[in-house]
A and B are shown apart, each in its own frame.
Chain A
Amino acid sequence: MTSTPPAPDGAPPAAVDGPAVSLRIDAATPLEPHATGSAEEQPVLAFRGVHFYYGSFRAVKDVTVDIHRNRITALIGPSGCGKSTLLRTINRMNDLIPHTRLEGQVLFHGENLYAPYVDPVEVRRRVGMVFQKPNPFPKSIYDNVAFGPRVTGMKGNLDDLVEASLRRAALWNEVKDKLKQSGLSLSGGQQQRLCIARAIATEPELILMDEPCSALDPRATLQIEDLMAELTERYTIVIVTHNMQQAARASDYTVFLNMAEDRAGYIVEQDETTRIFTNPANKMTEDYVSGRFG
């Protein structure tokens, strides 16, 4: 993969806070597979004191989290605690809902995603998303995967890109003979892997998954989890899940959110996944991961 240096393009990113400059150099260097996910490394994504509002209702309060490269970070918590909302702040999908507002900073390689000069469309091109229900377009399998590269104006051999994306989503062998068939003709698990292929075809650095297995049967769920593990070779993944076994099995780092008295979601505890599930610091976390509430 080739990366071009920052283009002198539109508004200058001078509005970014101090560390941004050095970090953007970091962003321009090619990704190294199997880079260590150590804490000292600069995070791919960092929430800094994030509050999120629907109108006057605060859905998420005071979130500060680092998301590290090539790791899977799971957001868990009872329903309504704002984990999906938090996930959607990363690719600015919440912008599509009127009367929403974010306070604080979401830093992508140190660059604030909510700076005035940032184009949400550009953000979404670099942050892929997989949704709760498999939602392939009513187009052929090929066109589903090729959609992103086409709209983002990527150059190069589209056939190769589609094949590579489908291979990486572990779907190629099942669909290589029927690329012209509708994406909707696939099974649920296949549809979701198609959606993953579609998301990685634009070569994002970060993939967001919003309860990607909640509509799938156990076998398809395991397939997706295996796939996620493989994907961490190249990508950084943030997953929202209500399934604690899934978080325990599949993620490296876990963020546990709960609802406060005012119904705003906040972080109770975050740590390495093994620690959250074996030796949590907080009693509430222990109760939740052991299934006593939620």
Chain B
Amino acid sequence: MSVSAVTTSSVQRSLRSGGRDWAGFVFEIVLLLSLLFALVTLFVLLADVLAKGLPVFAERGLDFLTSPLSSRPSQAGVAQGIIGTLIMAVLVPLFAFPVGVLTAVYLEEYAPDNRLTRLITVNIRNLAGVPSVVYGLLGLAVFVAAFAALGFGNGRNILAGALTLAVLVLPLVIITASEAIRAVPSTIREAGFGIGASHWQVVRTLILPSAAPGILTGMVLALSRALGETAPLILAGAVMGSFSTGGSLGEILTGPYTVLPIIVYDWARKPQADFRELTSAAIIVLLAVTLFANAIAILLRNRYVREW
């Protein structure tokens, strides 16, 4: 085989030269630089955003967080985006997590091993790869249309948006939960059955607790993904530009809405230079939310790497 031919020649070469492996050294440097590129980019991005955005907080303090949207940069704030993102953080898990986890339990524990099940599994994996903007179309054609038909104005409310994002992250929740369930050693399952636990008892008292850290990690990652999404909500009816929010919960849920990423997009497109700083400040708020969620997920996972 070519492998052995190459290795022998390399053996001969190294025996003869006996010196440093310069080619290998250079290769490793190149590898390291590639990795550093990604890390440095992340650093530059964060530094740039902080440099541009922090002065806004220094100048206006909490006012930026509590003010509503405005076309005047000196008054514009992200309060509505924060509210919208927080509502999303409640609604999306409410819709997506139960369905996602239960689906994973069904597929891993109950579904017969047949062609249909395999088709469903492949289908879910493919759904996870569908671009998020396409989910926006689903939101527009199904959820927004449904709310409009039910008499909720034009249907472009945060409930439609939350359902859209829930559908978007559903495959991710199912896949990570499935993997966590599959990782539970079969010996645990067998022991449970051997004692005379019913299937559901095995699932509820043994498998789900053991898989919980993995499932939880997937949930937090999914949430972080949902809260950072922009494209689906552009289609599914988030408002660009300023609007006034109703006071009651009912008005908030059925009236116009926006979220932090949408504000970032909206402001990033504005030509005024003042909005550049505001955009960076809004990004700081957005990153604080999504990176916080991400960091929790990573911590959870690293902490609960189980040793069986």
Contacts and interface: CB of A to CB of B under 8 A. Distances in A.
Interface of A: 91, 93, 96, 98, 121-126, 128-129, 131, 133, 135-138, 147-148, 150-152, 195, 198-199, 202
Contacts of A96: 190, 193
Nearest to B201: A151
Contacts of B190: 93, 96, 131, 135
Contact of A137 (B112, B188, B193): B188
12 contacts: A93-B194, A96-B190, A98-B113, A122-B196, A128-B194, A129-B195, A135-B185, A138-B306, A148-B197, A150-B205, A151-B197, A152-B196
B209 to A, nearest CB: 8
B210 interface: yes
A124 B112 contact: no
Interface string B112-150: 110000000000000000000000000000000000000
Contacts of A126: 196
B180 to A, nearest CB: 14
Interface of B: 112-113, 185, 187-188, 190-199, 201, 205-206, 209-210, 306
A129 B194 CA distance: 6
A199 B112 CA distance: 29
Contacts of A147: 192, 195, 197, 205
Given A98-B112, A98-B113, A137-B206, A124 B191 contact: no
Contacts of B206: 137
A121 B196 contact: yes
In this complex, the member of B192, B197, B205, B210 whose beta carbon has the largest number of chain A beta carbons within 10 angstroms is B197
A135 B187 contact: yes
A124 B306 contact: no
The secondary structure that dominates the B interface is helix
Interface of A, secondary structure class, is helix
Nearest to B306: A138
Contacts of B198: 121, 151
Contacts of A124: 193-196
A39 to B, nearest CB: 29
Contacts of A131: 187, 190-191, 194
A133 B188 CA distance: 11
B210 A138 contact: yes
Contact of A125 (B196, B199, B210): B196
A137 B196 contact: no
A96 B197 CA distance: 13
A152 B202 CA distance: 12
Contacts of B187: 131, 133, 135
Which of A121, A122, A152 has the most chain B CB within a 10 Å cutoff? A121
Contacts of B205: 147, 150-151
Nearest to B202: A151
Given A98-B113, A137-B206, A138-B210, A202 B191 contact: no
Given A121-B198, A133-B187, A151-B205, A93 B210 contact: no
B210 to A, nearest CB: 6
A93 B195 CA distance: 10
A131 B201 CA distance: 20
Nearest to B185: A135
